[in-house]
Amino acid sequence: MEAVSKRRVVITGIGVVSPVGIGVSEFWTGVSRGISVAARAPILEAADCPWKVAAEVHDFQAEKWLGRKEARRMDRLAQFGLVSSYLAIEDAKLDFTKENLERIGVAMGTAQAGMLFGAQEYDVYKAKGVNAVSPYLGIAVFTGATGGLVAMHFGLKAPCLTISTGCDCSTAAIAHAADLIERGQADVMLAGGSDAPIHPIVVVSFGIIYALTSRNDEPKRASRPFDAKRDGFVIGEGGCMLVLEELEHAKRRGAPIYAEMTGWGATCDAHHMCHPDPTGEQGARALQMALAKAGVRPSQVDYLNAHGTSTPLGDKAETVVVKKVFGDHAYNVPVSSIKSTVGHMQGACGSAEIAACCLSIEHNLLPPTINYEYPDPDCDLDYVPNVARRHNVEIAASNSFSFGGRNTAIVLQRYHNGVVGHSSSQRINGNGNGNGNGNGNGNGGHA
């Protein structure tokens, strides 16, 4: 009996709606130059919320893609998910009129669902009664709404799934999408995540468990992963969707390829709902599984994009994970966190970080961890402090962790046997922008 060859998975499109910019070019410029747009959020100021700092998406006009009537029927997170899907499809040069839509699916991650729409309609209900509530409320707050809307907008009829495991959810969605392609259940998947959690009740829920920064007076310096004076994450928002494609399908249509997705793995700490297991055993096992599936030795990894939330316990635990997996090589592999620039995009953070890995491979440039000023003896690796670094990246890995102890890791490799890259690699000189000197005092976990 003839053996069936393994189907390979490549990434051919990136769509991003992020605090540092909309579209892949603006996103990469922001994270590679170490630009932070974190600020005191008006909605948090108005509510007199104790935690006032957020990384918001500015100049976002969902109506441009969706139309005013359609945009008003959905939560902001669904708008982010749909628009980032449009951008990813455009970036991948996918023409759906030439595709079998029964072979294209959606894998969406979200941590918060439609919180903003729900809060808005609750205020309407209190002020005007049940008859004034939007008939779209039930759909807007439905966890699976965004994935369903993406499938409906583009007529995609392969599996459509939503994963809501917390802050690893978009990484997990991408891993599940790759599984579907590898097993032959789809040829193309739109995969990633979105969230719009900047609302006082969500912010308070994180703040009271010491997961958020209280550095209200210096917002741009507030997110400082692995720095000794970190005190919690900056809450962010946005969407990031990727086009995953079976290699031969991508080659037949001449698709440009960012990277090949060769390994993925997932585990659970089964330890605590908010705090990571300080031993790092299961976080390490997820990354080891991804490396084993990819057939990659730890010493071959050129770059690790960290979950790196800027929480005291989370960053310490992730450093333990890296040392467990890489051994002596841990001090040679560069590790950085783009959450220092874009904040914690919740359900979109993992997919945005995988996008950053793809772009690091394309440009041979490592995005910096900004605001790194005070070394922590418990976090003593090479965190690419403050300034982007030229570095050849053939193999990159990305960690994602979540409340409930969920761990997901992905390994990407440069694709050498076809068209590589979406644009010419241009030199981007990073310029870190933080020298904060506040005193961290939280003990938040790795949200």
Enumerate the active-site residues: 167, 307, 344
* Residue type for position 323: K
d(CA 264, CA 253): 26
Structure tokens at 382: 């090479």
Q: What are residue 272's DSSP bridge partners?
A: none
In three-state secondary structure terms, 286 is: helix
d(CA 414, CA 258): 7
Given a contact cutoff of 8 angstroms between Cβ atoms, the answer to whether 74 and 83 are in contact is: no
Element (H, E) at 39: strand 39-40
d(CA 274, CA 403): 5
Quickly list DSSP for 289-355. Answer: HHHHHHT--GGG--EEE----S-HHHHHHHHHHHHHHHGGGGGTS-EE-THHHH-B-GGGHHHHHHH
Output helix, strand, coil percentages for the chain, rounded to the nearest 5. 35, 20, 45
- Tokens 């953070």 locate to 349
d(CA 169, CA 164): 6
Report CA Rg, the chain.
Answer: 20
